[in-house]
Amino acid sequence: MKTLGEILISKEPITEILMGNHALVRAMLESGVKVVTSYPGSPTPEIAEGIRSIPKDKNPMYFEFSVNEKVATEVAFGAAMNGHLSTVFFKSVGLNVAADSFVQLGLFDLQGGMVIVLGDDPGANSSQNEQDNRHFSKLSYIPMYEPNSPKEVYEMFKEAAKIAKEKHMPVILRLTTHVCHAKEKITFDKLEIEEYDYTPKFDHINAPHIPIAARALDMKRMALKRLEEFKEISNNSKFNEIIDNGNKKRGIIVSGLPYLSLLDVLEYANEKVDILKIGIVNPLPEKKIIGFLKNHEEIKIIEELDDIMEKDIKTLAYENKIYTNIIGKVDIEDWIGEYKPDKVYDILKKTWPDLLPDIKMEIPQVKLNPRPPQLCPGCGHRSAFHAIKYALKDTDITVADIGCHTLGYLEPYNMGQVLLSMGHSTSTGAGLSLFNKTRNVVAFLGDSTLFHAGIPGIINAIFNKHNLTLIIMENGTTAMTGHQDLPSIGKNINGPTEAIPIKKMLEGLGIKYIKEVDTYQQTKLREYVLEAQKEEGLKVIIAKHPCMLKLTREQRRKGTFRNNKVEVTDKCDHQYVCISDFGCPAYQITPEGDVWVQEDLCIGDGSCIQTCPTNALSFKIVSKEGDK
């Protein structure tokens, strides 16, 4: 079989099963995208995986993981201003970080054109909220496409890119989690990589690109005019499609993945309902909507997350004196969660009880507790939390940040009591330390997050003399999103770089108390935390240990993985520190209360051995084994 890279770069038309994120890469190549930037975040990192799978000498695109989404947007913007078709992609909440630059994009004459790919996350599968980024499309006057399947991802990106290029403008492609990750068979067009004109095209005449005062208003006028012109594209687009089943009474307006959920639910329906499927969510196809409203007695709008289409459609009906009964959201639950088929069934049943039969779910007789995600066996964060916990009083305050270490909030660690956003922890911790003489504040921050948005908070804490301890959880990778590189490790996706050492950087900022320790050295780490609490100002402890998931994978690949296991010896007197306090998932318990090691899970790192008060843990076997 062809590798992913070979499929993506195949010159001939090719039919393959690909996930949405990978199909997007093929669309980029066919569209002639030259510059791609990103910051990793689910549900989008597989786009980068796709780009990376293409052999370097055959890849016409420049790609980088920038340090955050705002920077990524700016690099792509600069490239577009210089005449290169560019794409920036990131997750839903990444747009909040990028927003300051993003909201300006519509105002510019972007020489090369630009497509912004957003990975929204209805259902908050791997995000701290399920924000609806269609609001940003309205806010910025930038048109937005919303595909429902990998095939549409491919087709819509190509259309968006074509328009962006022709009209020198930005266009948004809004994906959602299960569109990014859905897999289906797609037939791709042939790929022609044209001879590229490398002449820098930046129009360097001063002023047109400076949105200040009166210029800003002219630029806004241009953005609005382009959006107005886009209405015609929307009205004529095949992605805004009426499915006419001849039902004069009932019609449904729906967009994105909920359209496919709806089709599945309607398989059970007692009658065929007409559907207006929306693919361009801003600007809406007004003419099609007006016609659809007029032709039906009742219209149901099935809209995931917020009521953006609903408001516009009701306005259209009012302005056009259409008295069709329009049913939008009816209660708070309609605003929450992903519109999977089950949810669409419930919504439709609530609206038109006679349309669908009752589908009875068997009620299970044995209930199960959920299995939340947890730190991997050998994770340095576990060792760190275990050590730090004993250096803090119950009343002390711990502030979590975003990354694998967020999972420390779970039992048995209970480390991290408040979480806001990427890089917030130092500043939130600073706020918590004001008018607070009695409760120590300890903030956690991952290394990738430090570079992403953590640095201003640290500088602020120095500048304004805040009093807290910051523990930087350095594992040398962006672990949660699939092990992307970061500035401190001396390489990026394209090759070696000059590493930015974290300790040196913080010393440069003038922080007096900085300690660095491997998290497996639990006693030393604990001492540092106790010591730091006695000092004034911002104290930093760099708690290091390489991500063991990444390290063991690399070792297995190279054949250097030492397949050690830990065992519980007969010295065990059932204090359960390993299982209840340290909490490595490899430790399991029999119904009789004996502790044993599940060897499927144990990686033999031994970070647990020191935690046993009776020295009942030890290494079992030492053998060398390659990848099997």
Partner 1 sequence: MKAFNIYLIGVGGQGIGLLSEVIIRAADKAGLNVRGVDTHGLAQRGGTVSSNIRIGENINSPLIMKGQADLVVALERHEALRGMNDYSKNGSTVIYYDAVWQPLDVRLRKAKEIENEIVEKEAKRRNIDLIKVYINDLSDARMQNMAVLATMAKNKLIPNVEKEHYLLAVNDLLTGDVLKNNLELFEKVYNG
Least distance in Å: CB of 410 to partner 1?
A: 7
Q: 39-68: which residues touch partner 1 (CB under 8 A)? A: 42-43, 46
- Least distance CB 110 / partner 1 (angstroms): 31
**Contact call for residues 157 and 31 (beta carbons, < 8 A):** yes
- Environment class of 624 (CB within 10 Å of its CB; exposed 0-12, middle 13-18, buried 19+): exposed
Nearer to partner 1, 405 or 539 (CB): 405
Cα–Cα distance measured from residue 504 to residue 527, given in angstroms and rounded to the nearest whole number:
22
Size of the site for partner 1 (CB under 8 A): 63
Q: Determine, following the binding rule CB under 8 A, whether residue 358 of this chain makes contact with partner 1.
A: no
* 258 vs 280: CA distance, rounded Å: 14
Token couple for 200: 């820098």
Which among 137-145, 161-169, 361-369, 449-457 is the span making contact with partner 1, rule CB under 8 A? 361-369
4 binds partner 1 (CB under 8 A): no
Residues 537-576 close enough to bind partner 1 by CB under 8 A: 576
Q: Nearest 5°: phi and psi at 323?
A: -105, 20
C-beta contacts of 287-295 below 8 A and 24+ residues apart: 287/235, 288/235, 288/240, 288/242, 289/253, 289/313, 289/316, 290/316, 290/320, 290/322, 291/242, 292/242, 292/251, 292/253, 293/251, 293/317, 293/320, 293/322, 293/324, 293/326, 294/322, 294/324, 295/248, 295/251
Does position 13 interact with partner 1 (CB under 8 A)? The reply is no
Got the DSSP string for 319-381? Answer: HTT---EEE---SGGGGSS---HHHHHHHHHHH-TTTS---PPPPPSS--------PPTT-HH
Q: Mapping DSSP to helix (H, G, I), strand (E, B) and coil, where does residue 309 land?
A: helix
Establish if 230 lies at the interface with partner 1 (CB under 8 A): no
Q: Are 252 and 228 in contact (CB under 8 A)?
A: no
By CB under 8 A, is residue 6 in contact with partner 1?
Answer: no
Q: Does 254 bind partner 1 (CB under 8 A)?
A: no
- Restricting to residues 379-418, which ones interact with partner 1 according to CB under 8 A? 404, 407, 410-412
Among 60, 78, 211, 585, binds partner 1 (CB under 8 A): 585
Closest to partner 1 by CB, 142 or 603:
603
Nearest-approach distance from CB 165 to partner 1, in angstroms: 31
Minimal distance, residue 546 CB to partner 1, in Å: 16
Q: Per CB under 8 A, does 1 bind partner 1? A: yes
Least distance CB 18 / partner 1 (angstroms): 11
Question: ∠ CA 234-238-241 to the nearest 5 degrees?
Answer: 90
Strand pairing report for 595-597 and 587-589: antiparallel
Select from 64, 587, 605, 607 the one that contacts partner 1 (CB under 8 A). Answer: 587
* E-state strands within 231-297: 241-243, 250-255, 274-278, 280-282
Closest contact distance (angstroms) between CB of 279 and partner 1 is 15
Candidate ranges 110-118, 339-347, 511-519, 565-573; the one touching partner 1 (CB under 8 A): 339-347
Residue of the chain from 122, 251, 283, 583 that contacts partner 1 (CB under 8 A): 583
Residues 6+ apart with CB under 8 A from 391: 526, 527, 529, 530, 533
Told to check if 623 binds partner 1 by CB under 8 A, we report no
579 is a site residue for partner 1 (CB under 8 A) = yes
Q: Give residue for tokens 């660095």.
A: 516
Instruction: Give the one residue of 345, 352, 444, 528 binding partner 1; rule: CB under 8 A.
Output: 345
**Quick check: 342 binds partner 1 (CB under 8 A)?**
yes
Long-range CB contacts (within 8 A, 24+) of 529-533: 529/387, 529/388, 529/391, 529/392, 529/442, 529/469, 529/471, 530/391, 532/469, 533/391, 533/440, 533/469
Nearest to partner 1 of 21, 82 (CB atom): 21
Q: Quick check: 594 binds partner 1 (CB under 8 A)? A: no
CB of 409 to partner 1, least distance (A): 13
Please report whether residue 484 would count as binding partner 1 according to CB under 8 A. Answer: no
Piece in contact with partner 1 (CB under 8 A), picked from 56-64, 238-246, 263-271, 305-313: 263-271
Please report, as ranges, the residues that interact with partner 1 according to CB under 8 A: 1, 17, 42-43, 46, 125-126, 178, 181-185, 257, 260-261, 263-264, 267, 340-342, 345, 359-362, 364-366, 368-376, 404, 407, 410-412, 480-481, 576, 579-580, 583, 585, 587-589, 591, 593, 598-601, 626-628
